[in-house]
Chains A and B, each alone.
Chain A
Amino acid sequence: MPLTSVLLLSMALFCIGVFGVLSRRNAIGILLGVELMANAVNINLVAFSRFQGGVVGQVFAVFAIALTVAEVVVGLALVILLYRSRKDVRVDEANALSG
C-alpha cells in the first residue's frame, strides 16, 4: 500500500474531525471531532514511521494516544461538571459569558 493512500485516509479523517468540531453544537460531539483529528495524526505518524524506517513515529503515536486519553478524561469531567450545574451540555446554550 503506497504512502499517499494512507495520507489521503488520514487527511480525510482529519477533515471529518475538523468538520465535526466546527459544526457540532454538543460538547460531546465536539470532543469526538477532536478525537478523530488526533487519531488521524496517529495514522499519519505510524505511516511515516513505516515508510521511513525507525520507530520514533510509533513511540510518538503511543504517547499521543495516552495524551488524548488524558485530554478526553479532563474534558468529560468538565462536561459532567457543567451538566451538574446546568443540566445541559449544548455549548450554544451555554452563553452566560458571551459578549
Chain B
Amino acid sequence: MLETYLPMLFIFVIALTIGAVMFFGGQLIGPKNPTPEKMMPFECGNDSQGTAGVRLNVKFYLTAILFVVFDIEVVFIYPWAALFKSLGWTGFATMLAFIAALLIALAYCWKKGALEWES
C-alpha cells in the first residue's frame, strides 16, 4: 500500500530541494548592498504602518458575515446552472423561488441598515 505514495514522496523531496537551493543560493552568491529602504518589510509597495496585529472594527465582521452568507448560496446555483437544460421549467421555477427568498432576505438586511457603513 505504501508504494502508492512513493511518487508523492519524490515530489516533496524535489520541491524542498528546489526551494532550498533557490533560498540559500540567493543568500550565498547574491550581491549584498543593503539600504534602509530595502530593509523595510514589503507591503504592496506602500510603506507599512503600525503593527500587524491591529484590531479591526467590528463592522468588518458584520459585512464579512453578510458576504459569506450570500456568497455560499452559489453552491446551489452552480449545479443548477450545469444541468439547466435537463432540469427544464421545473428547475427554473424552483431556482426562482430560491432566489426570491434570497432577495427577501437581502431587502430585509438593507432595510434594517445592516449594509450601512456609518451607523
**Direct contact between the two chains A and B in their complex (CB within 8 A):** yes
Q: Which residues of chain A have a CB within 8 Å of any CB of chain B?
A: 1-2, 5, 62, 65-66, 69-70, 72-73, 76-77, 80, 83-84
CB distance A76 to B75 under 8 Å?
no
Task: Please tell me the size bucket of the interface on B.
Answer: 10 to 19
Is chain A's interface secondary structure helix, strand, loop, or mixed overall? helix
Chain B residues lying within 8 Å of A69, measured Cβ to Cβ, are 68-69, 72
Find the B residue at minimum CB distance from A55: B79
**CB of B10 within 8 A of chain A?**
no
15 more CB-based (< 8 A) A-B contacts, given A65-B75, A76-B65: A2-B1, A2-B4, A65-B72, A66-B75, A66-B76, A69-B68, A69-B69, A69-B72, A70-B69, A73-B65, A73-B68, A76-B61, A80-B61, A83-B58, A84-B58
Chain B interfacial positions (CB closer than 8 Å to A): 1, 4, 58, 61-62, 65, 68-69, 72-73, 75-76, 79
Residue of A2, A69, A83 with highest tally of chain B CB at under 10 A:
A69
